[in-house]
C-alpha cells in the first residue's frame, strides 16, 4: 500500500486527490454503519450521462465583480471555494450572451471567445475537486445597465443612489436597453427599446453561440435564465409584454421567443440543460380574470414547463418574482417550495429544483422525501456557511467525504457510529 499523497491526475499544478469526491457518501457501511440508509439529499442524480454526487446545488449568485465581462480571481475563489465544500453542483452567475444584456457593467459575459480562458480555468479547478459546474446564460432585458447592488445602496440604507441606472460615464448603456415593450421596470430604471424581429433573432443567435463557447470552456451543464424579471420572464408576463405581434398577447405568443431559444439551446447542447423560471410575478390580484391573463403565475408556469419538458429540458429551477417592482413576497422558510411542488405534480418525470430561504437540513430533506422537489438549490445560506453540505450530513447522521485539507474540522461527522 502506497503512502503517497496522490495528486489529481492530468493537472499542471498539485491538488490532493479526494476519494470519494467531496460531499459524496462513504459507501463502505462496514466502516460507516450510519450510512446504511442514505438521506435523499445525498442520493446521486444522473442526467444525460452526467452524475451529480448529491442533491444540494449551488444557485447562481451575481457577484458584480467583472470588467468587460471577464471572470477574475474573485470568481475563481468564490466558485472554487464552493466546489471544495461538498455541493453536488455549482452554477456560475448570470452570464450575458451579449454586452448590452448584462444586468450591471460588472456582470460576467460570454459574448466573445476571449471570455473562454478565465472561465475554463474555473471549470478545471472545480473538476479537479470532483464537482460538476455549470453556467447560467442570461439577458437582462429592461433591467440592464443598472448599478451594482452595493453601489446603489448599502444594506443599512444609510446611503441610496437617486437612480438605479448606470449612466454612460459609469460604464453603462442606458440608451441601448431592450425589452419586449416600452415599459420600464420602475421609474428609476432605463426605458427599454421594444425589440424588433431582427433584435429577437440576434439574441436567439447569441444564445446559440454562447452554447459553443460553453463547450470549449468544459461546463457540465447550462442553465437558461428565464426568471427574476429579465428578458425571458419579460416576454412571458403580460405585465411587461404588451406587444400586438406574434410575440405578444396570447400565452402562446408570449411563450414563443423563450421556447424558441430553449429549443435552439437544447439542439446544440448534449449535456444537461436547466431552465430557471419565476413561477409568479407576486403582483396584486389574480393571475387570470375570465379569459384574460392579468399577470404571470403558476397556471401559466405549468404550461410553460410542460412545453419545456417536451423540448427535452432536464431540470427546472423554480424561483419567483422580480418582474413587478411593487411585489409583496410572503417571505418565510421555504416560501417558494409550493410552486416547485405544483410543477412536480404536473410534471412528475421532470427534475424540479426548489429554492428560497431553505436553511435547515431537516427542512431540505423533508421536501425531497415528500416529493415536493428533487433538488435543493442554495444561495444565501452558502454565503453564510459554505460548508453547509457537510453540516447537513452531520445533522442528518450520515458520513460524507470532506476535502482532505478540512477533515480535522469535521471529526464528529467522520467518526464511525457503533453498530446497533
Write out the catalytic residue numbers. 230
CB 16 within 8 A of CB 8: yes
User: Burial, 197: exposed, middle or buried (Cβ in 10 Å; 0-12, 13-18, 19+)?
Assistant: exposed
Q: Which residue has the cell 400586438?
A: 244
* 377 phi/psi in degrees, rounded to 5: -105, 135
CA 283 to CA 21: how far, in whole Å? 44
d(CA 329, CA 338) in angstroms, rounded, equals 13
Return the C-alpha cell found at 183: 415599459
Give me the residues paired with residue 277 across strands.
226, 318
- Alpha-carbon torsion, ordered 245, 310, 373, 398, to 10 deg: -140
CA–CA dist 254, 244 (Å, integer): 10
Cα–Cα distance, 299 to 194 (Å, whole number): 27
Strands 292-293 and 288-289: antiparallel
Amino acid at each position: 500500500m502506497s503512502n503517497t499523497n496522490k495528486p489529481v491526475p492530468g493537472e499542471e499544478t498539485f491538488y490532493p486527490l479526494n476519494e470519494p469526491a467531496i460531499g459524496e457518501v462513504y459507501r463502505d457501511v462496514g466502516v460507516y454503519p450510519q450510512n446504511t440508509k442514505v438521506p435523499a439529499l445525498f442520493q446521486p442524480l444522473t442526467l444525460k450521462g452526467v452524475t451529480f454526487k448529491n442533491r444540494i446545488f449551488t444557485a447562481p449568485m451575481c457577484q458584480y465583480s467583472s470588467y468587460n465581462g471577464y471572470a477574475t480571481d474573485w470568481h475563481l475563489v468564490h466558485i472554487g471555494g464552493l466546489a471544495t465544500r461538498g455541493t453536488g453542483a455549482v452554477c456560475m452567475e448570470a452570464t450575458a450572451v451579449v454586452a448590452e444584456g448584462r444586468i450591471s457593467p460588472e456582470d460576467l459575459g460570454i459574448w466573445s471567445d476571449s471570455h473562454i480562458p478565465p472561465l475554463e480555468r474555473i471549470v478545471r479547478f472545480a473538476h479537479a475537486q470532483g464537482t460538476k459546474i455549470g453556467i447560467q446564460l442570461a439577458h437582462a432585458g429592461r433591467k440592464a445597465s443598472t448599478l451594482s447592488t452595493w453601489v446603489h445602496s448599502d444594506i443599512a440604507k444609510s446611503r441610496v443612489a437617486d437612480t438605479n441606472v448606470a449612466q454612460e460615464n459609469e460604464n453603462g448603456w442606458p440608451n441601448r436597453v431592450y425589452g419586449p415593450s416600452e415599459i420600464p421596470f420602475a421609474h428609476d430604471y432605463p426605458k427599454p427599446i421594444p425589440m424588433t424581429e431582427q433584435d429577437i433573432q440576434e439574441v436567439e443567435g447569441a444564445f446559440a453561440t454562447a452554447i459553443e463557447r460553453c463547450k470549449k470552456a468544459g461546463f457540465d451543464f447550462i442553465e437558461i435564465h428565464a426568471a427574476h424579471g429579465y428578458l425571458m420572464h419579460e416576454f412571458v408576463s403580460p405585465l411587461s409584454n404588451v406587444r400586438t405581434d406574434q410575440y405578444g398577447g396570447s400565452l402562446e405568443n408570449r411563450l414563443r421567443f423563450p421556447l424558441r431559444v430553449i429549443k435552439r439551446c437544447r439542439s446544440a447542447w448534449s449535456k444537461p440543460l436547466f431552465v430557471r423560471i419565476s413561477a409568479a410575478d407576486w403582483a396584486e390580484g389574480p393571475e387570470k380574470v375570465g379569459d384574460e391573463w392579468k399577470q404571470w403565475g403558476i397556471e401559466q408556469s405549468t404550461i410553460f414547463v410542460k412545453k419545456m419538458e417536451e423540448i427535452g429540458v432536464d431540470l427546472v429551477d423554480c424561483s419567483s418574482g422580480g418582474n413587478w417592482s411593487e411585489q409583496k413576497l410572503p417571505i418565510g422558510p421555504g416560501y417558494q417550495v409550493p410552486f416547485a411542488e405544483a410543477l412536480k405534480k404536473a410534471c412528475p418525470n421532470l427534475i424540479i429544483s426548489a429554492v428560497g430561504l431553505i436553511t435547515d437540513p431537516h427542512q431540505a430533506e423533508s421536501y425531497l422525501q415528500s416529493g415536493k422537489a428533487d433538488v435543493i438549490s442554495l444561495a444565501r445560506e452558502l454565503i453564510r456557511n459554505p460548508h453547509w453540505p457537510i453540516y447537513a450530513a452531520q445533522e442528518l447522521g450520515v458520513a460524507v467525504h470532506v476535502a482532505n485539507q478540512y477533515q480535522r474540522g469535521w471529526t464528529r461527522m467522520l467518526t464511525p457510529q457503533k453498530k446497533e
